[in-house]
Amino acid sequence: MLWQATLILAVIDVGFIPLLAWRIKPLVFRRLKWALLATTAIFWSTLWIWALVNFWDSVYRYVFPDWARWLIPPAYGLLFAAVGLVFWWLALRCPGNAVVGFCLLGGLWGMITHIWAVYRGIVDKPPMLQGVDPVAAIVVAVFEFMFYWCIILSVALLLQLGRQWLRALTHGPKEAP
């Protein structure tokens, strides 16, 4: 099933990333810094709240201590926001399209986090995941996380555009998105 998810997510990413790269010009990407930071923190905190509410007993209690259950969402929200800021900075300094670089770095981060999860026993300890191919769990993360970072970029862009629209309403037009 993870290999099927990998294929589906890869197909989505192949369309989503070029669309964002076409829509988000370098200057716009540079201006997304704070919207991206806020969106990333909220996105990952919310995703982890959902994951822990729905899968604590069946998955996550096997790899995290009980005391960490409600610390994980805000901690990971802040950690991933910091990582997103580093990715934003790196994407602006690496050759090629910054949006593509940002999404690829996000995929690399997914691989790293899932390698860590496999090391912590995510495919061995929870009965629900026993027998899952560790390689599939790591590879799917690349495309899963690229998809998540595409969503984050999209929401950050909408927030930035909304902020500019409100500024234009109250102060007159200042800058193009």
Cα 67 vs. chain centroid, distance in angstroms?
Answer: 25
Whether the Cβ atoms of residue 142 and residue 103 lie closer than 8 Å to each other: no
What percent of the chain has a predicted confidence (pLDDT) above 70? 97
pTM summary value: 0.91
Question: How close are the terminal C-alpha atoms of the chain, in Å?
Answer: 40
The confidence score (pLDDT) of residue 16 equals 98
Q: Judge whether residue 176 has pLDDT over 90.
A: no
The confidence score (pLDDT) of residue 163 equals 85
Q: Judge whether residue 73 has pLDDT over 70.
A: yes
Q: What is the tens place of the pLDDT at every residue in 5-63? A: 999 999 999 999 999 999 999 999 999 999 999 999 999 999 999 999 999 999 999 99
Q: Judge whether residue 173 has pLDDT over 90.
A: no
Q: What is the tens place of the pLDDT at every residue in 94-152? A: 999 999 999 999 999 999 999 999 999 999 999 989 989 999 999 999 999 999 999 99
**Structure tokens belonging to residue 18:** 């070029």
